[in-house]
């Protein structure tokens, strides 16, 4: 038996809806600017850019419920509502027409972003890690199995803060749909069960402050409610 210097980290897992089982998280990938309206609000041209990806650490994943701490090192925390793909089979160099068979299911997540740190990183051509990969930066709902709900290609996606709607869109507005996203990721890395892929956010991203009550969802998948707590010490 292997002896470790410290206790091994607890496995990060997401509940599977309608089941006592959980989905153990391996890696978290995020596609950027996958809705044309959001790409434009961020100053990009969606008609010319191929998909690009960034990552979050697995332990950034938490339940989209209860109270999440306002993160350190920021005065400009933003919300980005997204549908999330849960991978259930290993694959590489996957063709789009085969990609959906690698999907275990779907959930709804929020890509929390320290926008002020991201702006500095962009200006200085530095990585986005500190802006995107902080503690509790990937709250998600439980996962619905694809065998139960199919593979959503359309449906409303929305987010509100303190009862005011901030983001609305439709999954059909994604520049790169699920099959293309899975295919693109598999051409860069070997995807495996436990991988999560955030699929991008519609326009309307905005500021979150301590005490804000956040709600959102994707039709046919899940809804969530959580609150932003006080700043971390």
As a whole number, mean pLDDT of residues 165-186 equals: 96
Asked if the model's pLDDT at residue 84 lies above 60, the reply is: yes
Q: Are strands 222-231 and 67-70 parallel, antiparallel or unpaired?
A: parallel
Q: Is residue 108 scored above 80 in pLDDT?
A: yes
User: Which homologous superfamily is 13-231 in?
Assistant: Fumarylacetoacetase-like, C-terminal domain (3.90.850.10)
Q: State the pTM of this model.
A: 0.95
Report residue 40 as tokens.
């434009």
Q: Are strands 138-140 and 61-63 parallel, antiparallel or unpaired?
A: parallel
Would you say residue 42 has pLDDT above 80? Answer: no
The pLDDT of residue 38: 55
Distance CA 96, CA 181 (A): 8
For the stretch 68-82, pLDDT in tens is 999 999 999 999 999
Residue spans of the domains in the chain: they are 13-231
């Amino acid at each position: 038996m292997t002896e470790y210097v410290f206790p091994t980290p607890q496995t990060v897992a997401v509940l599977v809806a309608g089941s006592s089982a959980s989905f153990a998280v391996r890696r978290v990938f995020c596609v950027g600017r996958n809705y044309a309206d959001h790409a434009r609000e961020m100053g990009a041209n969606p008609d010319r850019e191929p998909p690009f990806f960034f990552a979050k650490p697995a332990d950034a994943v938490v339940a989209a419920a209860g109270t999440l701490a306002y993160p350190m090192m920021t005065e400009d925390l933003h919300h980005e509502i997204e549908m999330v793909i849960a991978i259930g089979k290993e694959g590489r160099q996957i063709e789009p027409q085969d990609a959906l068979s690698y999907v275990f299911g779907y959930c709804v997540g929020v890509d929390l972003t320290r926008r002020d740190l991201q702006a500095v990183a962009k200006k200085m051509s530095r990585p986005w890690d500190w802006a995107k990969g902080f503690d509790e930066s990937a709250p998600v709902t439980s996962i619905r199995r694809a065998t139960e709900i199919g593979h959503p290609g359309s449906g409303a996606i929305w987010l509100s803060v303190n009862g005011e709607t901030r983001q609305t869109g439709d999954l059909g507005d994604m520049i790169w749909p699920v099959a293309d996203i899975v295919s693109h990721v598999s051409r860069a890395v070997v995807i495996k069960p436990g991988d999560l892929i955030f699929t991008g956010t519609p326009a309307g991203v905005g500021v979150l402050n301590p005490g804000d009550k956040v709600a959102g969802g994707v039709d046919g998948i899940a809804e969530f409610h959580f609150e932003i707590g006080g700043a971390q010490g």
